[in-house]
Structure 1
């Protein structure tokens, strides 16, 4: 099993983290985004969208980070990470949509400005990030995980970009429930950290 990724991509970290939490043996193959390796024909043959991560499971190709989470949970038969009952499955899917929407256009986009030089409006994306964080803070009041009483792929999907939100000048200090949630994920067996960059609020003084 090979995972094509980039160390500064939260989407790629999401997939790498979950494979590690499951204890799945996998080789990590770094894609040189700066050199345009994700636009080469051999990479586009795996993912026509030219994005990391991509999972190659002995010839079965899965692209999109959330799709990889679903695939790995199903492949490993780990229903605790992706519940089968209708209510819990729908709740997990809801948070996967948040990861692809509000997270991508909030804290992830804010980090793209400081780490990669993206041309988004800082005020707009930081505002979106705080709206999301406020909702997460409320969701996590009195509970440890987003869905049910144990971690699921919903938690994994949100972790990377929320954990590195300060790199995009998004302050987490007003969200104690969110910060405690991040620490719980980091305490899980098999956790692998997401690379830190000295950007935004994380910059070295």
Structure 2
């Protein structure tokens, strides 16, 4: 198994984190994004979108961090990471969607603007980011995990960019339930540290 990876990417990190949590070894293959390696023909053969991460398992490439989490959970992890009942699966799908939309367009975009110097509407990204932080904090007021009684891939998908929100200029101090959840994730066996600049 290979993970085509860029260390500072939150989407790559969530896959590395999950691999750690389920004790699944994988060879990390660095994709030099600053030098455009993701647009070279050999990478585009794996992912025509030109994006990381890409997981290659049994010779088959799989793209998109959320899809990779689902695959790893179904193939290699204990069932609590992706429960098979329809309601839990629907809830998890909702959190994966939030990650790809609201979190991407808010907290993640603010981080990209401040840390990578990319042109973004920082005020809009931070406003969206605060809405997500408030939503997740409220959701966690009376529960330990996003779905059910144990951690799932929903927690793994949502965690990275929220835990790195301060890199996008968003304070975490006002969100006590969110901070408690972050601490619970960091205490899980196999936890992998966040990427640092």
Same fold (TM over 0.5): yes
- Counting helix residues as a fraction of each chain, which structure ranks higher? 2
Deviations 1:49-88 (A, max 9, x none): 1111000112011110000000001111522100110111
Work out whether residues 164 and 196 of structure 1, in 8 Å CA contact, stay in contact via their aligned partners in 2. no
Contact kept, 8 Å, 2:130 with 2:170, in 1: the verdict is yes
Task: Give me the CA root mean square deviation.
Answer: 0.8
Mapped partners of 2:120, 2:25: distance in 1: 37
Render the CA deviation track for 1:77-116: whole Å, top value 9, x for unaligned: 5221001101111000000000101110011000000111
In the other structure, the counterpart of 1:53 is: 53
Question: C-alpha distance in 2, partners of 1:76/1:169?
Answer: 36
Inter-partner Cα distance in structure 2 for 1:110 and 1:56: 30
The runs of at least 4 aligned residues of structure 1 exceeding 2 Å deviation read none
The corresponding residue for 2:125 is 125
Name the counterpart of 2:86: 86
- The alignment partner of 1:25 has SS state of coil
Q: How does 1:96-135 map to 2 (within 5 A)?
A: 96-135=96-135
In the superposition, the TM-score normalised over structure 1's length comes to 0.94
- Distance in 1, matches of 2:174 and 2:89, equals 30
TM-score of the superposed pair, with normalisation by structure 2:
0.98
Answer whether contact 2:4 2:29 (CA < 8 A) is retained: yes
> Unaligned stretches of 5+ in structure 1?
198-205
Deviation at 1:196, TM superposition (A): 2.0
